[in-house]
A and B are shown apart, each in its own frame.
Chain A
Amino acid sequence: MPRHKLIASESDGKDNEFSLYYVEVEENSQGGQEKQTTRDGKRRRERNGEVSRRRASEKRTTEVDTKRAEKKHEKRHKTARKEGEKHEKRQRRKNADEEEAEEESNKEKKNIKNERTKTLRRDDEKEKDVKKKRKKHVKNEEDNANSGKTKQKDCHDMPLKEKKKKRKKPETTSESESKSESDSAPESKDNQAVGVLGSLTPEELEKLKEAVDERKKLIATMRGKPWPMKKKLVVLRSSCVLQRQETLLIISFLYYSNCQKWMKFQRDFENFKTACIPWEMKIKEIESHFGSSVASYFIFLRWMYGINMILFGLTFGLVMVPEALMGKPYGSIPRKTVPREEEASAMNFAILWDFGGYAKYSVLFYGYYNSQRAIGWLKFRLPLSYFLVGVGTVAYSYMVVIRTMARNANEEGGGDDTSFNFSWKTFTSWDYLIGNPETADNKFASITTSFKEAIVEEQESRKDDNIHLTRFLRVLANFLVLCCLAGSGYLIYFVVRRSQKFALLGLENYGWWERNEVNMVMSLLGMFCPMLFDVISTLENYHPRVALQWQLGRIFALFLGNLYTFIIALMDAIQLKRAEEEIVKKNMTIWQANLYNGTVPDNSTAPPITVHPADIPRGPCWETMVGQEFVRLIISDTMTTYITLLIGDFLRAVLVRFLNNCWCWDLEYGFPSYSEFDVSGNVLGLIFNQGMIWMGAFYAPCLPALNLLRLHVSMYLQCWAVMCCNVPQERVFKASGSNNFYMAMLLVILFLSTLPAIYTIVSIPPSFDCGPFSGKTRMFDVIQETLESDFPAWFGKMFSYASNPGLVLPFLLLLVLAIYYLQSTSKTYKRVNMELKKKLQTQNEENKKKNKLAALKAANELEQARKAGEQRSSSSQHTQNSEPPVSSTHTTTRPPASRGHTSSGHLPGHPQQPQKNSHSNRR
């Protein structure tokens, strides 16, 4: 068959398969009756059968003359059986495969368009052909009855249907075609791999494994490919055929199915994990209504909740529960009993609300804990545990905050270059999460203004007028803000001083206001000052994002100032208490002497006098006082937050909604309107709240628990409030920009709040008669005590050596040096990174230019070739004329370098080949 050889190797391979296919059919029909053929051979045959069948169904689109193939196969299928030829054939087929992958794609393209005119007649023939093949398919399936799964049928019927659909659909875009090219390539690889399967030598097994790996990789990355689902499904299902073939190989069976199981498990685990994230649906709902910035607050809240959960677990599990279960019970020693003079009012609600009375003498506060070294049958070292938990919570918080910051910084990556200002504004400014028409309107407005601003800025960067006025206004605004801050600081200091005076004279003589003055003033300042700042900041005329950061900075300064005035006042109170303590100590000795002298003189044999612990005089216990102050602060802060939420948001919304019908102007869009959700203020509130927790948790172990409760309630209350009575912000921001800004603030607060706590722990001696460290000169002595009594002597010695300044100082120096070194290397890396970026950019540009030139050249050549071809074809035939111009437009519009597969199709002269082929085929 000389003509056949002319047609190139492609059709050769095809015929091969057809022969194999028919062989397969025959053999299978035999195999259905006599199952006891050798396993190996059967496997091989089946595999070949699969391949050929699949191939056949694929080829149907490209095959031109099937009748010829049918004639040939009868001769061929005899020779196909001969073992000697098999190997050779396999080789040939491999070659054919490789060429097929390329040519098929080209051909497909041409065929779809070229044949469109002729296929109508041909289609009928093919339909018949298809029916014939179908029959055989069915036969096959019946023979394979033991495998009997209908799904298998689906597996290779699907691609067939697909292909048919595609062929009948003449208007398939060039895009989908190019995709189908990239699709067919991996499939042919698979077939190759399956072809190799024939004999089971170790090397071939290796190859098989590689093929499986490749396929798995493809599947794993498939979801990352921008294909329509149908195509993905086809590829996935074609791989399920492959998998079934593999199931026959025991090794790969285990290998593959294990992998599958593992993948399934991973997937289920993922599902489980997402199902476990609390409030996910709530937050998503808010996100879809209000955009990502409001949602970012709730995500932050949830993150905070997680941290507090850990803190709570530590303090509750290692401090409160052991003391409550194993420590001495209530009423056994003075520090665990309510003193006689308070007993009458200890159960009053007002007192309990103020955390006095029974609440004060409970595990909630520092003073209750006993200094006994080991408690219970577990010999639990409570004082040590108390100290370590205090240190551990702070250390843990540092770790978490810094780790999160580092991760955020990583994600931001090279977000520092602003060379794409306008492009980003256009391409990325829409927040696709917005599902609320009002928010969308706001967003439209804000985008428009940002565009206009950017344009104006661009123009103004050349000429700057009126800068003096803005500068003056900004200075003025900052001055005003400073005045506000100073005023609020003084107010708090004044109030705290006054409250000390009240406290000295006895709180009982004063009303509610005097008792809660400090907290109320602090909360009110925190409420009204930010509004004032907001008004002032309108003077400055900053860009909203910048303005927000200024605003945040100012509120931060205000809160910080308030907090520190509070702490300073508290320090004063501590000094007062300590002076009081000295007096009590002196009185105590007198009291004891009186006790012994007065009742039992000179009788050593008599039992010691038992005095009810409530009657024993005791010191003021400044630690409990500090703890109480913090708890009160937290409570009042929470209350003000909730009350402002209810009044400011809910009541306002209700009034606006219902009074709107009988009012003289439009309340909803006019003056009061609905309130916006204030992300920055809420985040700051949260951060400061957390700061107070960190500060006070050492003296009041109940604080993390209280905070947990508060956050939990906040989550629900604020979610509800946002959804029912807030309108979306007028200025919609994206969250990501300010994310690390919040974290940085949290870190600063953490640092600032640990400072006073550490100061009190290190420099002030603990009270003599309350708390776990009573009787020691400093709180950290507990470490030394443990080292001395619980560890072997050499350990203590080593520790003392290690803690000697001669060792510690060089170590610190080393740390500083290491930090410096890392800092400088990171800087150089950054610089190198920037340079590489630049290099890449320039290279990219050069490449683009080159490619463009090449594309132009190719287009020219194509044009010439087409002209030549037209001349030739006009003399001989008039059938094909529509195709070439289309491909030439493609070459000009698409960048050749962007896609490997398509670019090969645009190489000069290349698209001509299939055309010639079809010529020769037709002749």
Chain B
Amino acid sequence: MGGTSSKLPKDLLSEYQELTFLTKQEILMAHKIFSELQDRENGLYSSRVSMEKILTLPELKSNPFRKRICHVFSTSDMKDGSLSFEDFLDLLSAFSDSATLEIKSHYAFRIFDFDDDGTLDARDLEKLVNSLTGETDDTRLTGEEMRQLISNILEESDIDKDGTVNLSEFQHVISRSPDFVSSFKIVL
């Protein structure tokens, strides 16, 4: 089993290189890490890795958006956030050095869109701010501050004044940011 699962076919590898922003080494590395995460105890070669296992990766462990990231990149039918190897590669590709601003901002939007309704409304923003300030009470913003902050955000980036931030507005804001591209990265 080990022999078959740890080897990536050559043509598949080149296809993956074609389709992602990753280099060959990175894909192989990702494959290695992924196959380490895969379930082996039950003897079955399971193609998906559950979200809990993915979240044990040190790169994702301390990320406040880790669950969202898994949900966004998962193509699972069960909506459980489990990732196949291809989903995993998608994830790494979007977070890689050479990914474009467009794709990064697209995924960032979907990560921040907590209820998956295609827009960032006040509730999404509140969740977003809460995950940015951490779980502990002493770092959390008070209700007043939160209201102020969200109204400020909406004032800046909600161009059509419909009370929500949609994808194009989001990309408009993000594209001006000097350090989004350099910080929206995950390196294995």
Contacts and interface: CB of A to CB of B under 8 A. Distances in A.
- The 7 A-B residue pairs whose C-beta atoms are closest, nearest first, are A444-B134, A229-B86, A440-B62, A848-B160, A415-B178, A428-B180, A422-B152
A424 interface: yes
A568 B28 CA distance: 58
B70 interface: no
A735 B177 CA distance: 13
9 contacts: A228-B87, A233-B86, A420-B176, A426-B125, A426-B132, A426-B153, A427-B180, A435-B60, A897-B168
B103 interface: yes
Interface in B4-56: 11, 14-21, 23-25
Contacts of A420: 156-157, 173, 176-177
B82 interface: no
Interface string A88-126: 000000000000000000000000000000000000000
A333 B145 CA distance: 81
Contact of A228 (B18, B86, B134, B166): B86
Contact of B187 (A229, A426, A433, A734): A433
Contacts of A222: 18-19
B176 A430 contact: no
B19 A849 contact: no
A670 interface: no
A452 B134 contact: no
Contacts of A852: 160, 162
Interface stretch (A139-147, A270-278, A913-921): A270-278
Interface in A242-298: 263-264, 267-268, 270-271, 274-275, 284, 287-288, 292
A422 B61 contact: no
Interface string A871-904: 0000000000000000000000111011000000
B103 A427 contact: no
Contacts of B153: 422-423, 426
Interface of A: 151, 169, 171, 173, 175, 219, 222-226, 228-230, 232-233, 236, 263-264, 267-268, 270-271, 274-275, 284, 287-288, 292, 412, 414-415, 417, 419-424, 426-437, 439-441, 444-445, 447-448, 451-452, 454-455, 458, 734-737, 841, 844-845, 848-849, 852, 893-895, 897-898
Nearest to A225: B103
Chain B interface: which size bin?
Answer: 35 or more
Interface in B92-115: 93-95, 100, 102-103, 106-108, 112
Contacts of B61: 435, 437
A292 B156 contact: no
Contacts of A444: 64, 132-134, 136, 139
Given A169-B77, A229-B19, A426-B125, 17 more contacts: A230-B75, A267-B24, A275-B25, A288-B187, A414-B176, A424-B177, A428-B180, A444-B133, A448-B140, A451-B129, A451-B133, A455-B145, A736-B179, A852-B162, A895-B160, A895-B167, A895-B168
A824 to B, nearest CB: 26
Contacts of B172: 844
A900 to B, nearest CB: 13
A439 B62 contact: yes
Contact of B132 (A230, A287, A415, A429): A429
B184 A432 contact: yes
Contact of A849 (B11, B15, B108, B160): B160
Nearest to B148: A455
Contact of B156 (A412, A423, A734): A423
A426 B160 contact: no
Q: Looking at B11, B87, B168, B187, which has the most chain A CB atoms within 10 Å of its CB?
A: B187
Nearest to B24: A271
A223 B18 contact: yes
Contact of A445 (B75, B139, B152, B167): B139
A236 B18 contact: yes
A893 B106 contact: no
Given A288-B187, A420-B177, A845-B160, A226 B132 contact: no
A844 B64 CA distance: 33
Contacts of B59: 288, 435
A267 B17 contact: yes
Nearest to B89: A229
Contact of B112 (A287, A427, A458, A849): A427
Interface in B121-172: 125, 128-129, 132-134, 136, 139-141, 145, 148-149, 152-153, 156-157, 159-160, 162, 166-168, 170, 172
A451 B145 contact: yes
A292 B179 CA distance: 10
Nearest to B180: A428
Contacts of B77: 169, 171
Nearest to B172: A844
B178 A422 contact: no
B145 A428 contact: no
